[in-house]
């Protein structure tokens, strides 16, 4: 059984942040610790998804991670691939962006290179309150975690080759 690899990428410095005060809204009310708690909750659900995939494709490689960017506060994801395969990797991820109107939550499963959408959830906007954001993110992760059959099928689909 392969272990899950966990990666995190810190955002690069950006001078645009100095000219755009609204870009600093990336921190939730609870600060960076809250994004870490949300990431951990999402990854627990994606771990269940990985277990279901691994029951069918024992050789699957899973890489868990998170990143931040100029246009989003956090993206927590898990990438699935099969060793020595040219089939595009599959990424299950949830992206959150804090705005003045609330936190926007998007969740989908797609091809890493091709961008083909395998599964998606409706975009949600919730109040900028720690509990509301955590609950909505967890709900989106639970919906994604029901997609193991679609991910297995995508990883076996030779028409999704990237090379």
So where are the chain's domains?
28-160
The 3-state DSSP composition of the chain as helix, strand, coil percent (nearest 5) reads 40, 35, 30
Tens digits of residue pLDDT in 11-57: 434 434 333 334 333 455 555 678 999 999 999 999 999 999 999 99
Residue 23 per-residue DSSP state: G
Q: Which two tokens stand for residue 74?
A: 């956090």
Cα 33 from Cα 62, distance rounded (Å): 25
- Which of 65, 64, 67 is closest to 10 using CA atoms? 67
Given a contact cutoff of 8 angstroms between Cβ atoms, the answer to whether 155 and 81 are in contact is yes
Q: What is residue 80's predicted lDDT score, i.e. its pLDDT?
A: 98
Please report, for residues 60, 62, 87, 156, the alpha-carbon distance to residue 83 in angstroms, rounded to integers and kept in the order given.
7, 10, 10, 12
pTM of the shown model: 0.80
Higher-confidence residue of 139 and 130: namely: 139
DSSP-based three-state secondary structure for 1: coil
Tens digits of residue pLDDT in 59-69: 999 999 999 88
């Amino acid at each position: 059984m392969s272990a899950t690899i966990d990666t995190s990428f810190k955002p690069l410095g950006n001078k645009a942040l100095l000219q755009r005060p609204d870009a600093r809204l990336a921190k939730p009310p609870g600060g960076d610790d809250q994004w870490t708690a949300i990431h951990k909750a999402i990854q627990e659900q994606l771990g269940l998804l990985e277990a279901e995939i691994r029951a069918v494709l024992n050789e699957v490689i899973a890489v868990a991670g998170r990143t931040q960017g100029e246009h989003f506060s956090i993206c927590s994801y898990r990438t699935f691939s099969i060793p020595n395969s040219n089939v595009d990797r599959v990424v299950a991820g949830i992206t959150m962006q804090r705005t003045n109107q609330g936190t926007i939550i998007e969740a989908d499963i797609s091809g890493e290179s091709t961008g083909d959408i395998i599964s998606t959830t409706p975009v949600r906007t919730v109040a900028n309150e720690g509990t509301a954001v955590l609950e909505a993110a967890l709900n989106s992760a639970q919906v994604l975690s029901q997609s193991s059959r679609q991910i297995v099928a995508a990883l076996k689909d030779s028409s999704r080759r990237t090379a």
